[in-house]
Amino acid sequence: MSGLRNLRAWAWVLLKLLSGLLTISLLIQFFIAGMSVTSPDWWAYHKVWVGTFQWLVPPLPVFAWLCGKPRGRRVVVASLPILQIALQYLLVHRALDGRLPIGVGLHAVNAALLLLVALALTLGWPEDKKPSGGRHW
């Protein structure tokens, strides 16, 4: 049973670590997007940077699941960034091809919400009242 508790503890640490890196990456992305408003050359960095940090997102629900029971809310919150990244691509591409004029604005709003979700996961929300296997921190 000690091995299972150890797995849960590592999953908790990795969930917080990856979501923390995602939070920092999103803040950098906000900076790059802001710079591109006055200097269009920064758009290339914006595209390259998202291609780099988006890979932090897929493991989040896996680690949330491995943290143990109860899983429900934690896994749902950890899965949101996957949907949000997909929505980011949909919004910006629809805006760029003219089918959704407000897409870029919604892209920015969704990015802010993605930052809040990543920060919430980093801070341990939603934390279970009685985590299985004892406290992780």
pLDDT by position in tens, the chain (length 137): 678 889 999 999 999 999 999 999 999 999 999 999 999 999 999 999 999 999 999 999 999 999 998 899 999 999 999 999 999 999 999 999 999 999 999 999 999 999 999 999 999 988 755 555 555 55
* Residue 131 covered by a domain: no
Answer yes or no: is 102 within a domain: yes
| Residue 28 near residue 36 (C-beta atoms within 8 A) | no
State the pLDDT at residue 70: 87
Per the domain annotation, does 132 fall within a domain? no
The domain containing residue 26 runs over which residues?
Answer: 2-122
**Nearest one of 64, 68, 72 to 121, comparing CA atoms:** 64
Residue 114 lies in a domain: yes
Structure tokens at 12: 């908790």
Q: Is residue 136 part of a domain?
A: no
Give alpha helix (H) positions in 1-137.
2-38, 42-53, 59-66, 72-96, 103-122
| C-alpha closest to that of 78 among 31, 128, 136 | 128
Considering the domain boundaries, does residue 117 fall inside one? Answer: yes
pTM, two decimal places? 0.89
Asked if residue 127 is part of any domain, the answer here is no
Query: Cα–Cα distance between 58 and 46 in angstroms, integer?
Result: 20
Tokens of 24: 């920092």
Model pLDDT, residue 134: 55
Could you tell me the sign of the dihedral formed by the alpha carbons of 5, 8, 10, 13, in that order?
negative
Q: Is residue 134 part of a domain?
A: no
Per the structure, the count of domains in the chain is 1
Contacts of residue 16, defined as CB under 8 A and 6 or more positions apart, other chains included, come to 121, 122, 124
